[in-house]
Amino acid sequence: MSEPNETRPAIQDDIRVSEQQESKSGTEAFSRRTFLGVGSAGLATAALTSLVVDAQERGNIAKGEQDHSASNPGPENKPLLDENPNSNFPPPTDYGNIIPVWYSFDLTHMRIQEGGWTNQVTQTVLPSSTDIAGVRMRLTAGSFRELHWHTSDEWAYMLYGNARVTVLNPDGTIFIGDVGKGDLWYFPAGFPHSIQGLGPDGTEFMLIFNQGDFSEDNTFLISDWVAHTPPSVLSRNFGLPESALRKLPTNDLYIFPADLPESLAQDMARDGVSSLPKYTWKLGDMAPKSRTRGGEIRVADSHSFVAAKNISGAVATIKPGGLREMHWHPNASEWQYYISGKGRMTVVLPHGARTMDFNANDVGFVPRIAGHYIENTGDTDLQVLEVFATGDFQEISLNNWIRRMPPEMAMAHLNLDANAISKISADPGIYILPR
């Protein structure tokens, strides 16, 4: 056996990006027809498609699309249809009905207070996501998300600006750190924490909770506790006269304006700022897990961002025409936030396949072990945040599986010849395929 040739077939030299190489991306319009294999993706796509839907059925669907059958004389929501062409008029390989895999933060209401706002996509609006909920938040410069704690772990991705976070450990030490765009933080369940917007224009971030029915309106707030404790108990507990406690808040603060904090160096110089765990992480400083002419992906899980025991995440940047390869995750469902660009994802389950369009600020969901892939259908980079309720990021590549089994097995199942199989990538770390 010539192992090097097995693991590095020629095709990968074309896919992998070298330091000098740059993507030659055009703006070839992406259509359902390229999806069907008429475009450059070519014969392999067509061969696999035929396994799912036989030619007869595909012919019937195609005929229905071309004649009067697909006409809709009734009402329609044109802006929504224009934004989601594949959702309403699916690729012919879609079938059956599966659980919801799409929602958008732009369909949620914002809770606005002086100092910022928040909105959330939880199990209430995306019922299939039972183990992850997402909350977006904006804090103006100086404003706080009030000191609080909650039952789930919290993982965050910074979308904009700068923030200071603090978290208290059970051993009495406190962590204080500053984060900027693209950075992460992680707070273990039950650990009390705060977030404050910094200059020049505060911050905006995406919070991820490993509990689908989490609600940002249902956290333990320090103001709630003091407001609902008799003054005599507060006095004894704090060792302060009741007269010193007259100005304690009597209502939720939740989000509220405040002065900008001292410099990080000054805050760090205080007693007890000696947290051993590091609760912030610079995702952008990590080497990409994979970089190809189709894009790149950075992954942070507990093997790198050690404090993040129960939640992991990745940011995939998919170039125009690029394909986040056919794969699944054996140990966790995937909750996605589309940061920028336009894409289309297909999710395959044993009883159905569903394609949806995604735009910036949309949420995607993939149940554990469900097959899926994402295509960049726009003419700018598609950036997707992928998060998992596990500290151990795992991915299974369909290409890798086909190549790792004895070729006779693959031939018997897929009717591909040995030459075709040898051209499929055996690399489990490609992640994004170029146009």
Residue numbers of the site for Mn ion (CB under 5 A)? 154, 334
Q: Which residues pair with 359 in a beta bridge?
A: 342
- Residue closer to Mn ion by CB (options 135, 198) is 135
Phi, psi (5° rounding) for residue 339?
-85, -40
Dihedral of the CA atoms 264, 267, 273, 278 (nearest 10)?
-20
- Cα dihedral: 120, 132, 323, 400 (round 10): 180
Q: Which amino acid is at 91?
A: P
Amino acid at 5: N
- Mapping DSSP to helix (H, G, I), strand (E, B) and coil, where does residue 429 land? coil
CB atoms within 10 A of CB 362: 25
Taking the complex as a whole, the smallest distance from the CB of residue 87 to Mn ion amounts, in Å, to 19
H or E segment and range at residue 414: helix 407-414
**And the tokens for 220?**
């333990």
Nearest distance in Å: CB 337, Mn ion: 13
- Least spacing, CB of residue 381 vs Mn ion, in Å: 18
Q: Which is nearer to Mn ion, 53 or 167 (CB)?
A: 167
Nearer to Mn ion, 204 or 334 (CB): 334
Closest CA to 364 of 391, 341, 397, 330: 341
Other CB atoms within 10 A of residue 370 CB: 20
Rounded to a whole number of angstroms, the minimum distance from the CB of residue 193 to Mn ion is 6
Between residues 334 and 357, which has the closer beta carbon with respect to Mn ion?
334
Count of all residues that appear for the chain in the document: 435
Q: Min. distance of Cβ 393 from Mn ion in angstroms?
A: 10
Instruction: Pick between residue 150 and residue 319 the one whose CB is nearest to Mn ion.
Output: 150
Catalytic residues: 386
Cα–Cα–Cα angle for 410, 413, 415, rounded to 5 degrees: 85
How many angstroms separate the CA atoms of 338 and 420, rounded?
34
DSSP state of 125: T
Pick between residue 84 and residue 118 the one whose CB is nearest to Mn ion.
Answer: 118
Q: Report in angstroms how near the CB of residue 311 gets to Mn ion at its nearest.
A: 13
Contact by Cβ (8 Å): 373, 346: yes
Look-up: residue for tokens 């019922």? 127
H/E element, 24: none
